[in-house]
Amino acid sequence: MTNSHNAAVQSVETSFIERLVQQIGITANARYIYGEPVERDGVTVITVAKAAYGFGGGSGTKDKEGGFGAGGGVAVTPVGYIEIKDGATRFRPTRDPLVYASLIAVVAPFAAFVVWRITKAFGKAKEKK
């Protein structure tokens, strides 16, 4: 590859990555994570979420051909809300239903086994009478 070709590829890569970082920077705003405050009857509520961002990129050449790629993503998860009332501030967490679903998935087979064993034991006790 020629130096001018390498410089052109690097320029395109840099431009793309700069645009990607700029777009992620636009969404990395407290308004997107906390939301707009809502006020009603003297109580102000501000939603709270956690955000995780990631991005990466790379380039390479093979047989005199070059290429590059980049990508990024964001995950925003609600965690609760801040309640402001009569000058006092309190954080109130919200519960993630997926945590309860996984707990049920783990406990349900065990509970079914216990119920089955109890009914089997009572069945045998009735037969002896």
DSSP string, 38-89: EEETTEEEEEEEEEEEEEEEEEEEETTEEEEEEEEEEEEEEEEEEEEETTEE
Q: What is the pLDDT of residues 81-108, one digit of tens each?
A: 999 999 999 999 987 777 777 778 888 8
The whole-number pLDDT of residue 76 equals 78
Q: What is the pLDDT of residues 6-45, one digit of tens each?
A: 555 556 556 777 777 777 666 666 666 677 889 999 999 9
Average pLDDT over residues 51-67: 80
Structure tokens at 58: 């790379």
Task: Report whether pLDDT(68) > 90.
Answer: no
Reported pTM? 0.48
Strand partners of residue 77: 50
Of residues 128 and 48, more confidently modeled: 48
Structure tokens at 44: 């102000």
